[in-house]
Structure 1
Amino acid sequence: HSRGFLQLLWECGGGLAAPAIAEGVIHKIVAFVAMKVIGGPGAPTPIGELGFTAMSDALELVENDVQQVGKDLQITGYLAATSGGLARQIEMLESVPSGEGQPGSDGSGEPLQAQAPISRLLPMVEHGRAWSLRGDSAEPSDVEFYKAWDRNGVLTNFSCHPIRVTEEDGTTPETEWASVEHYYQAQKFGGERAPSSAAREVVSAIALARSPEEAARIGRTAERTTPEIVVPDWDTAKVRAMRRALIAKYTAHDGPREFLLSTGDRKLVEACPHDYFWGCGYGDTGENRLGELLQEVRAMLRASSS
């Protein structure tokens, strides 16, 4: 991440593919099926031993795409963490309290120490392909982004670029948030200035989340189940919080800043089909506020460098 890379191609045989999948570091699979038949008890397999003994353990691929390449078929899909044997392993991992034994997790007022942003967990993958949902409203010049590990992923709030955010009063608290998503979710409950013990507990769990996806799940769940601890003016404050986080990200990190500036005057679109405020929504009927804020930050960066 420090070098600006969000994708790594792991090209290998079954012997190396299996441990990488088991470690939870593989998000996307591209497999080729040749129009040939081989067999035998010693025939190589595309994936080595994963320890599964039943079809219910099988890993599910979502957001699938099949294309013909010459005489062969190219199959592309994302590993979902919602089913199969790895899902049960993840469930066991997530049953351990995320703040256990970590400094700042007891609401003591000490600076929160967020864990390293690299996650060993598979991301939660939504069904549906974002790139085909905008219909005729999409322009070829639009810069679309959605998943952190996909094209233009550096623009998402889920890219693991740590930030320290200058608040509205001009102060910069000591907490370093592992991503924009960590910071944004924590602000729903007051961030470092959370007013109640219940809110501080949620903020601490978000700060300690092992991935932006986990931070989002914690924040969204708490917002839904305990709405009374959400800051009263969140509907209006959330845009200001997001703007502060984006400014922090793109001023602190050279790679994301250079990428954002390289988009010129092109329209930036969060191609999320189920978010009608921050994203474009299904059929491009959403507000795309995240894309608009990124365009504001881009203009600010351009003006400051001129």
Structure 2
Amino acid sequence: MPLETVVDTPVTSVRRSRLNRNKWYGLLFILPTFGAYLLFSLVPTLAVFVLSLFKWDLVNEPVYIGLDNFIQLFNDPLFLKSLRITFTYVLYNIPIQYLISLLIVLALNRPLRGIKAFRVIYLVPWVTTPVAVAIVWKWVLNPSMGVLNYVIELLGFNRVDWFSSAMAMKSVLMVNIWQHTGFSTLILLVGIQSIPKMYYESAEIDGADRIRSFWHITLPLLKPTLLFLLITGFIGSFQVFDTVYAMTGGGPGDSTSVFYFLIYKQAFNFLEMGYASAMSVVLFIILMVVTLLQFKLFRNTTYDYS
């Protein structure tokens, strides 16, 4: 027996026409956003890849030089030094920041009086402009007139030169951790509160204490949240610029000349646009490879909470 065929009635024709019209309306609504993405993101990104093969100083015509920028890049000791400084910064920033955030979350995830007000307070540094934060902290850490050294002296200790070659990167690291811990704390708090309480209730019935519940319930079910934080944290840490620019200017010497700051110097101080573009391409490749590795390490991290 043949299957019953659906007759195209006037009602279904009108409904189909309405669906097609709504589809075009939807495309028109996303067109401005898509156009802005093409104009301000995709086209400049492709232009950087093309420009990395040229020598250009913003004044004269670009000259095609092939892979010479990349060959010069990997023979440049300053590039290799900035890469090492940046990786060191990332390897310190991410574990310390997320450990502090996790401790704060475990303290905040309790029904205490006034806890909601405190959750708002710890987000204030994150929503503040990074340059403003850096300028205030530059005054606080001033070796001769800074508030922090004044407090250190009151406690009977010697002043610290926070902007010396040995301490400048630690100062930048401290300020960035202070500013961005609020964001990772917020994301972790949402992740923990999305875990169903029945898992903890079952563990409590089985005699598990809080430490075991944390290791066997909280931490495994936080893997998707941790994956998001690791990806965004690595990208953000590798692109640190505002704090370095406002606090140290890459100095003293080149002790805080992170990768992004070096790109800025090559492009706008020395007008080496092609060379800076080659550095940006290397940065893009590094971030892409690390992101893919993180996805591979955190494979199968989605959970059904139903």
The TM-score with structure 1 as length reference comes to: 0.25
User: Please, what TM-score do these two structures have when normalized by structure 2?
Assistant: 0.25
Q: Which structure has more RCO (C-alpha within 8 Å, separation ≥ 6)?
A: 2
Question: Which structure is higher in helix share?
Answer: 2
Q: Name whichever structure is richer in strand by fraction.
A: 1
